[in-house]
Structure 1
Amino acid sequence: MITRRGFLKFLGGGVGGMMALGGYSFAFEPLVRLNVTRYTLTPPGWTPGLKLRVVALADIHACEPWMSASRIASICAHANTLGGDVTVLLGDYATGMNLVTRYVHSDEWSKALATLSAPLGVHAILGNHDWWEDKAAQQIGSGDTFGHRALRDVGIPVYGNQAVRLEKDGHGFWLAGLEDQLALLPGKKWNRQWMTGLDDLDGTLAQVTDNAPVILLAHEPDIFPQVPKRVSLTLSGHTHGGQVRLFGRSPVVPSRFGDRYAYGHVVENDRNIIISGGLGCSIAPIRFGSPPEIVVIDLG
């Protein structure tokens, strides 16, 4: 039989453990840790001889104290040391929560991102929070958001259902960027009950004019079942790896497919997608088992 003293020791240990766990989840993992997660693959249809390193940053969610402009600049400085041929930004620069001490303006986070550099450039798409937090864009239902303007103003091209052909060592490849799949919130004005996407997969891929491999940038991974084999690799963010991962699974994932596209490299029917765990937090400033990460992909 457990004694009162033993029970109190057990309870104290439990409380201490919970406090330590809470401190790690709220302070250390989201604020201090930064992983570099590497993938190496040669997707079907990849051009022989084309060796390409892609550095990907996702879900920055700029706000203080969790993701200040100075921290973003520090992450960018680290990304610049990773030897990427091309750097891609996978959306959600705006904060996604109210538990902040200060909102970081788009002029600040965009100037921090402007410190990124790569031989073949820095290329961006937007995420759902970049649309949701722009009330003017929500009212219009289309057009530029403050995210589009902020990135373009610092020289970073933003792809909204657009494709561009790049070249390395005489070998071409395409970057194709989708507009967000959850861009417009429900509202009476638009007679909508569900979030509406502005993505156009078919129209984007129709801009590809040769047989060079295609890398698709899509903030939400839920588009992946519709992506044709013509696309060599899809890169996504959005899920944050569930923000909490236990034993390789996430209890809650913002995807209609649940844990299927929560995190990492997924291969389905000879098609490849890599889902970044991202850098910031949304809803609540908690990360456990899903530390902030920069993703490095070596292709070929």
Structure 2
Amino acid sequence: MPRESNAPRFTRRELLRGLAAAGVGTIVGTVDHGYMYQRHHIALTRETIRVSGLSDDLSGLRVGFLSDLHRSEMVSHEMAETAVRALMSERPDLIVLGGDYVTWGGGRSRRFVGAAAEVLAPLAAPPGVFAILGNHDDDRDMPAARAARGVAVLRDARTRLTIRGETLDLAGIRFWTRRAEDIASVIRGASSNLILLAHTP
């Protein structure tokens, strides 16, 4: 009979908050007012995030973050293009995508999987473009469509980049990954320069 663990148990949200409090650069894609009310609102926000322990050489790193595109009958190619142009105008050092590229992963929205990948194709940054999945994305067609456009989809995975001569680890967890120990295993062994991507609607 397996021995019962006395290790503290955390929810996914508690773990992400704890990592952020500990100084891990955490980027979480969120929807404040919901798809029905915000689907026509495109906003460019500039934020300065202070990360304790970050290498001095990475200070001022410009990370472009785009999330919740929700490409569908109600979110046109032109609207999505506007968001892409706005992001590229900022000339980010690194681009990460936060998920929810379509309204729903299956059914009628499946035809927008390719369209979402196409409209995001102009995004480019020196070390590449990296993505995670949201709760509206499926776990098969969307990663394949993103990968076909040269975008690395991080599904409970971590990749190591070299930026400005410094190591930067970029980790992404699937929306469906809930156990704290599974999330912890993704970042175990990472460098002190770490960005964790998670989609939490």
TM-score, normalised via structure 2 length: 0.72
SS of residue paired to 2:145: helix
Identity %: 31
Cα distance in 1 between the residues matched to 2:156 and 2:66: 19
Cα distance in 2 between the residues matched to 1:202 and 1:58: 24
Q: Return closer, same or farther for 1:154/1:47 CA change in 2, 3 Å cut-off.
A: same
Residue type matched to 2:68 in 1?
Answer: D
- Paired positions, count: 163
Q: Which moved more, 1:196-205 or 1:86-95?
A: 196-205
CA shift for structure 1 position 49: 2.8
CA shift for structure 1 position 201: 0.9
CA shift for structure 1 position 207: 4.9
Partner of 2:188: 206
Cα distance in 1 between the residues matched to 2:68 and 2:101: 6
Equivalent of residue 54 in structure 1, options 60, 63, 68:
63
Equivalent of residue 131 in structure 2, options 124, 127, 141:
124
Partner of 2:26: none
Any idea what the Cα deviations from partners look like across 1:147-196, whole Å, max 9, x if unmatched?
111111111110011111112221221110101137xxxxxxxxxxxxx7
CA-atom RMSD in angstroms: 2.7
Any idea what the Cα deviations from partners look like across 1:66-114, whole Å, max 9, x if unmatched?
x1223212311221111210111011112059xxxx8452111101111
Any idea what the Cα deviations from partners look like across 1:105-138, whole Å, max 9, x if unmatched?
211110111111112211000011113xxxxxxx
Residue type matched to 1:95 in 2?
Answer: T
Equivalent of residue 160 in structure 2, options 146, 157, 165:
165
CA shift for structure 1 position 199: 9.0
Structure 1 residue ranges (4+ consecutive) displaced by more than 6 angstroms after TM superposition: 196-199
Partner of 1:63: 72
SS of residue paired to 1:167: strand
CA shift for structure 1 position 198: 11
Structure with bigger gyration radius: 1
**Cα pair 1:76 1:116 within 8 Å, conserved:** yes
Partner of 1:37: 45
Cα distance in 2 between the residues matched to 1:88 and 1:45: 21
Partner of 1:154: 149
SS of residue paired to 1:64: coil
Cα distance in 1 between the residues matched to 2:103 and 2:196: 24
Matched, 1:218 2:198: yes
**Cα pair 2:160 2:168 within 8 Å, conserved:** yes
**Cα pair 2:39 2:70 within 8 Å, conserved:** no
Cα distance in 1 between the residues matched to 2:159 and 2:149: 19
Cα distance in 1 between the residues matched to 2:123 and 2:198: 20
Matched, 1:81 2:89: yes
Cα distance in 1 between the residues matched to 2:50 and 2:174: 26
**Long gaps (5+) in structure 2:** 1-35
Partner of 1:241: none
SS of residue paired to 1:42: coil
TM-score, normalised via structure 1 length: 0.49
Q: Return closer, same or farther for 1:114/1:50 CA change in 2, 3 Å cut-off.
A: same
Matched, 1:178 2:187: no
CA shift for structure 1 position 200: 2.5
SS of residue paired to 1:56: strand
SS of residue paired to 1:105: helix
Matched, 1:112 2:119: yes
Cα distance in 1 between the residues matched to 2:133 and 2:180: 11
**Cα pair 1:125 1:219 within 8 Å, conserved:** yes
**Cα pair 2:104 2:137 within 8 Å, conserved:** no
Q: Return closer, same or farther for 1:179/1:30 CA change in 2, 3 Å cut-off.
A: closer
